[in-house]
Amino acid sequence: MRYGWTALGAACLLSFSVHAGDASLQQQYAHIQDLNNTSWRLVSAPSGDPQALAKAVELSRQSLASAEQMKAALRENAGLALEVTQRHSDALRILASAYALQNDREHALACLESLLKEAWVEASTADLLAKNHALDRLRDEPRYKAVIAALGRLDSQWRAPAIATTDTELDEAHRIAGLSLFWSEARYNFVHFELVPDLDWNQAYVDFLPKVIAAKSLHDYYEVMMRFAPLLHDGHTSITPPATISNEFYARPAIRTAMIDGHVLVTEVCSPKLASQVRVGDEVVSVDGQDVRQYAQERVEPYASTSTPQDTLVHVYDYRLLQGDHRQPVTLGLKDAAGRLRQVRLSRENDPSVQVAPTVDWRMLPDGVAYLAIHEFEDDDGVKAFERALPQILHAKGLILDLRRNTGGSDVVGAQILSYLTDRPLQGSRSRTQEYAPVYRADAGPYTAWNEWEAGTFQMERAQRYHGPVVVLVGPRTYSAAEDFVVAFDALKRGTLMGETTGGSTGEPLQFKLPGGGTARICTKHDSFPDGREFVGKGIAPQITVAPTVEDIRAGRDPVIQRALAVLAGKEASPATPAP
């Protein structure tokens, strides 16, 4: 998950945290938003009407006062209190803009200085101020420059540009600093240490110090770093090498493989150039002369950041098995359906004839069943595909939503699709993140504290909705925001979940740069079902388990879709009762 339920702002109705059912709080928050939106429209109007600016000042002051009152009432609700604090800061910026346009420099600068004293200060505020032309006449003011400088120091403190240099020739100090930066950020921010109880993170840091010291080249350095992050066993915590050398790690021939019933099979041949060498259903028995399982365990698995056993199988035997340096071909030992053995040597260089799979797949299946596969929630392609197909979906006898290859993106995209299936509010995950106060540690010693918030709700007005039976297909590649979709679908009791257990990894990763141009991310948010059931580190099990066999792959059959059709046709009872 990446963006959270609030990403659509005014386009949806929101409720928050512990007080999700408290209409009064929702109304107060909406009132603050309305005051800010109205005052910003007045400030942004090109006319610069004095009466409009005076009204903007009045409304912004009202917003500040309302936010102060609401913050005082929310001391037990940190999630919503933070939202209100952010709206308070918005009001200060708008008020500063209105004062500046009135040429009231003193009050405008005082508002900007007050931003630095807020309970929540974001370094990105500097960018907002720089893009706000209402403040142009303040740019040369020393007090304005002091505000920008303070925000810049905040940015530098956390982004650590002195460590995250783009220089590709890394000295020993920067190699050590990069390892130290990742270790430190994880130590304070990683949210799932309870899932790796046998890991001594501090000892791991000590163990890797001599390894980064010995890694003289940029490639060797990232080969070490990419083995450090997987020790945390989390799919949202990883280290990625610089783009300049990514093809030394991630290049692969244009085929896909998977572990099926204990056999590593070729599941796709994505380039016509390889059709004469490799066939779907071939079993991979060796890689570069080494038994495929031994190769995977020794040369692939140590680099895989995964959350569950099923997630590990996908990364090791599908995503990463054949990855490597683009300059080095890979030799595969293959066994066909008749048991005949052969070897093929495949290039890892970029193949321009590779057939890129679409992000969505829409079609009508037999017996009037609508089928939509959505392979990512990174953008709104899935929403657009659903809306284009809506006239046919509305008349369908059943709907299959296939998320088996959906690796995530934004949970709001999934929520938009779900909003076409119900008029009930959608429930998001229950969440928590660590809350660290240095003074508490100084007073009480080592401790853990959590900032927790209940599942929020999401609702959108729709002119038409589909009320027929629904089956959602999932598997170990169903990940992140796609699992957030499954959580909300489960809470709705809207249909049947079918396939295999999901990957078991979601959260909000902290992302930052590393020396030499690489990047890192660390999971900072723990999510669970609204009722507290855990799925991170476990996965979400379907109500009906169906998985392809070796014979299915070789015959080109999809038993999961066939089973879904049987359920929708009433040939097999569904364990779920659709909501009316």
- In sequence order, what DSSP letters do the residues of 80-138 get, joined into one string? HHHHHHHHHHHHHHHHHHHHHHTT-HHHHHHHHHHHTTSSS--TTHHHHHHH-GGGGGG
Task: Please list the helix, strand and coil fractions of the chain in percent, rounded to the nearest 5, in that order.
Answer: 45, 15, 40
Tallying the residues shown for the chain, one arrives at: 580
What pLDDT sits at residue 82?
77
Instruction: Say if residue 260's pLDDT is above 60.
Output: yes
Which of the two residues, 436 and 243, has the higher pLDDT score?
243
Average pLDDT, integer, range 298-320: 98
The pLDDT value given to residue 23: 65
- Examine the domain organization and report whether 406 and 330 are in the same domain: no
108 located within any domain: yes
Q: Are 20 and 457 spatial neighbours (Cβ–Cβ below 8 Å)?
A: yes
Domain closes at, from 104, 138, 159 = 159
Helix/strand/coil for 22: coil
Point out the domain boundary residue: 312, 346, 380.
Answer: 346
The share of the chain scoring above pLDDT 90, in percent, equals: 82
Are residues 499 and 531 located together in one domain of the fold? yes
Determine the pLDDT at residue 454. 77
Residue appearing with tokens 């249909």: 495
Residue 29: predicted pLDDT: 87
One domain, residues 415 and 559 = yes
Structural domain total, the chain:
3
pLDDT tens-digit series, residues 369-404:
999 999 999 999 999 999 999 999 999 999 999 999
Q: What is the pLDDT of residues 510-541, one digit of tens each?
A: 999 999 999 999 999 999 999 999 999 999 99
| CATH assignment of the domain containing 493 | 3.90.226.10
pLDDT at 2 over 60: no
Residues 6 or more apart from 279 whose CB is under 8 A from it?
Answer: 266, 269, 336
Predicted local distance difference test score (pLDDT) of residue 399? 98
pLDDT tens, residue by residue, 113-150: 999 999 889 999 999 999 999 999 999 999 999 999 99
Say whether both 9 and 141 belong to one domain: yes
Q: What are the Cα distances from residue 275, in Å, to 23, 334, 346?
A: 61, 14, 12
Same domain, 335 and 374: no
353 falls within a domain: no
Quick check: is 241 in a domain? no
Give residue 271's domain range: 255-346
Does the residue 186 lie in any domain?
A: no
The pLDDT of 24-49, averaged and rounded, is 88
Show which of 346, 377, 403 is a domain's final residue: 346
CB 302, CB 238: distance < 8 Å: no
Q: How far apart are CA 278 and CA 294, in angstroms?
A: 22
Residues 294 and 370 in one domain: no
Tell me how far apart the alpha carbons of residues 564 and 538 are, in angstroms, rounded to a whole number.
24
Confirm whether 261 is domain-assigned.
yes
> For 183-240, how does the pLDDT look when each residue is reduced to its tens digit (9 = 90+)?
999 999 999 999 999 999 999 999 999 999 999 999 999 999 999 999 999 999 999 9
307: domain CATH number is 2.30.42.10
Q: Is-contact 457 503, C-beta < 8 A? A: no
Q: How is residue 345 annotated by DSSP?
A: E
Instruction: Give a yes or no: residue 510 inside a domain.
Output: yes
The pLDDT score that the predictor gives to residue 458 is 85
Q: Does residue 454 sit in the same domain as residue 389?
A: yes
Structure tokens at 437: 């106060």
Are 443 and 499 within one domain?
yes
**Residue 149 belongs to some domain of the structure:** yes
Same domain, 340 and 400: no
Distance CA 34, CA 260 (A): 55
pLDDT for position 20 = 41
Reported as a single tens digit per residue, the pLDDT across 263-303 is 999 999 999 999 999 999 999 999 999 999 999 999 999 99
Specify whether 553 is located in the same domain as 432: yes
pLDDT at 357: 86
Distances (CA, A) of 155 to 117, 121, 122, 158, 283: 16, 11, 8, 6, 51
Residue 164 forms part of a structural domain = no
Mean pLDDT of the chain: 91
Does residue 175 have a pLDDT over 70? Answer: yes
**Which pLDDT belongs to residue 11?**
30
Q: Are residues 407 and 339 in the same domain?
A: no
Shared domain check, 511 and 393: yes
Q: Looking up tokens 């392809």, which residue turns up?
A: 548
